[in-house]
Chains A and B, each alone.
Chain A
Amino acid sequence: GENVEQHPSTLSVQEGDSAVIKCTYSDSASNYFPWYKQELGKRPQLIIDIRSNVGEKKDQRIAVTLNKTAKHFSLHITETQPEDSAVYFCAASPGGFKTIFGAGTRLFVKA
């Protein structure tokens, strides 16, 4: 089955810097790659997603890139702010209604 690895597990950046989180997946059939943000004590919420027919997608300060050949995808957050501090999860869907998550990255943005 699908396996998603996520790095780093913890990331600390200065406010205003960029943050990059990287994920790899194993199942070449995966065609949907969402990213979820989970604030402390809250539920995970979708922040951006990308499908396999697209290489990059942007939404304001957030961008996701996908390299299907290498089975890599990454989340880029520019001009980080303290409210970006949270746990971020990447995920991959090989179809069949399953979404498999990475282990998460705890992002700290220092003011």
Chain B
Amino acid sequence: NAGVTQTPKFQVLKTGQSMTLQCAQDMNHNSMYWYRQDPGMGLRLIYYSASEGTTDKGEVPNGYNVSRLNKREFSLRLESAAPSQTSVYFCASSGQRNTGELFFGEGSRLTVL
């Protein structure tokens, strides 16, 4: 089992460019999440998907869109990247109803110039 896999691991963008972060899990989990991690601010929830076919906003959704492609895959898209979106992005999944342990991917470091 690979667990939670996200790509790419590193990306440099120019302001205004778009990109998609991909995430896949092989644990048959229903819920998937996207967090961003910034120094001194912990992990902030961007969007989540409680189950296939549903997505909801988290704490900091502005500037992002998501797609729950199927049960395994949950992508995060930046339509017009801004320097404020420079961050480390973590995808996570959870198999428990409502709340429970989050299994994180390795992270994607994004720099927007």
Contact = CB atoms under 8 A, between A and B. Distances in A.
A43 B45 contact: no
B99 A43 contact: no
A101 to B, nearest CB: 4
Interface in B27-54: 31, 33, 35, 40-45, 48, 50
A83 to B, nearest CB: 20
Interface in B80-113: 90, 94, 98-102, 104-107
Interface in A23-37: 31-32, 34, 36
A97 B97 CA distance: 8
A47 to B, nearest CB: 10
Contacts of A1: 59
Interface of A: 1, 4, 6, 9, 31-32, 34, 36, 42-46, 49, 89, 91, 93, 95-104
A49 B41 CA distance: 21
A9 B40 contact: yes
B58 interface: yes
Most A-side CB within 10 Å, residue of B48, B58, B102, B105: B102
A103 B98 contact: no
A97 B101 CA distance: 11
A31 B98 CA distance: 11
Contacts of A43: 90, 104-107
Contacts of B102: 34, 36, 44, 46, 99
B88 to A, nearest CB: 10
A43 to B, nearest CB: 4
Nearest to A34: B101
A4 B98 CA distance: 19
A106 B99 CA distance: 26
Contacts of A34: 101-102
Contacts of A31: 99
A21 to B, nearest CB: 13
Contacts of B44: 101
